[in-house]
Amino acid sequence: MANLRKAARGRECQIRIPGVCNGNPETSVLTHYRMSGTCGVGCKPDDTQGAIGCNCCHDAVDGRIKTPFTHDELRLMHAEGVLRTQAIWIKEGLIKT
């Protein structure tokens, strides 16, 4: 399988939090979606469970910056970003269905 962390660099943010997203692909990284049963203390989820995210959206979903959005709204935007990212990876053949 491809290195999705490397593949996320230099790409358009897929989390797209209004008023937060900086729109700068140079800051994009793979932003893991944390969910019970798929990760734990010191253990990240599988890279297929991540969204391409700019550093600002990454900070927002990880709770490092304040936003006007609720925790649930941020989780939904992050989850939608994961789905958009998976569609990109599938189209490019980086992950298989």
Residues labelled as active-site residues: 32
How many H helices and E strands in the chain?
A: 3, 2
Give the distance from CA 62 to its chain's centroid. Answer: 10
33-38: long-range pairs with CB below 8 Å, 24+ = 33/78, 33/79, 33/82
